[in-house]
Amino acid sequence: MKLTFSPASPFARKVRIAAIELGLIDKIELVPASVAPGTPNDDYQRITPLKKLPVLILGNGDVILDSYVIVEYLNELAGGSLIPDYGPTRWKVKSDHSLLQGMLDSMLLCRYESITRPEALRWKAWLEDHWNRAWSGMARFEARDDVLSGPFTIAQIGLVCVLGYADFRFADCGWRKAFPRLDKFHQKMLQRPSVKISVPPAA
């Protein structure tokens, strides 16, 4: 299997962590890819019209997207427990992951607004709204002891990726001071090799 990959992508990091934890990483070739809004990349768009990372390309050529569905696929392939199979916990973990995914989407929109977009065209209300979504989401998880102390699932992976991306692209945002329990959770997670090896490189 091939995974289109960039060490800067929090979505690609999510899949990488899952693949390591599931014991599948040796079966996956990480294929470097680079995409940016406003910049064409016709070769990559032939793989996925969305021009987004990551996608998983199977041996038969089938393309699996997005990062969430890839983790579902790998989890089923390995018989893993990153997503509970049934019951209320299943929907809680899935909904937590959707929230974290949306927080990452908003953080990327903040990045594009404040760096990629030409300076004269930036809209403060948009930036503040999307940052507020990410920040309110962190505040929500600060109070979620069941996630912070619970079993290792795609929700914990998603939260690690949110916090790592905050360090990577919004180093001065002050999340550790505002959310001490998230800080403690993040430190604990960094003891896992999968999390440690996938920390984004210094910006």
With the CA atoms of 74, 78, 81 and 86 taken in that order, what torsion angle do they form, in degrees rounded to the nearest 10?
80
Q: Cα–Cα distance between 10 and 169 in angstroms, integer? A: 11
Longest dimension (CA), the chain: 51
Region of 52 please: left (phi>0), alpha (psi -120 to 50) or beta: beta
Position among 1, 30, 78, 122 found at the interface with a copy of itself (CB under 8 A): 122
| Closest approach of a copy of itself to the CB of residue 189, in Å | 21
Q: Judged by CB under 8 A, which stretch of 85-93, 142-150, 176-184, 192-200 contacts a copy of itself?
A: 85-93
Residue with smaller CB distance to a copy of itself, 41 or 187:
41
Residues 51-70 that bind a copy of itself (CB under 8 A): 51-52, 62-66, 68-69
Give the number of residues in contact with a copy of itself, rule: CB under 8 A. Answer: 47
Residue with smaller CB distance to a copy of itself, 120 or 202:
120
Count CB atoms within 10 A of the CB of residue 164.
21
Residue with smaller CB distance to a copy of itself, 71 or 195:
71
Residues 126-185 that bind a copy of itself (CB under 8 A): 126, 129-130, 133, 136-137, 139-140
**Rg of the Cα atoms in the chain:** 17
Locus of tokens 């920040």:
135
Residue 120 is given by DSSP the state: G
Residue with smaller CB distance to a copy of itself, 154 or 195:
154
Query: Could you say whether residue 49 binds a copy of itself (CB under 8 A)?
Result: yes
Reference 71, options 61, 63, 80; nearest CA is 80
Query: Could you say whether residue 88 binds a copy of itself (CB under 8 A)?
Result: yes
Query: Could you say whether residue 15 binds a copy of itself (CB under 8 A)?
Result: no
Q: Judged by CB under 8 A, which stretch of 6-14, 16-24, 25-33, 116-124 contacts a copy of itself?
A: 116-124
Q: Residue 140 burial by CB count (10 A; 0-12/13-18/19+): exposed, middle or buried?
A: middle
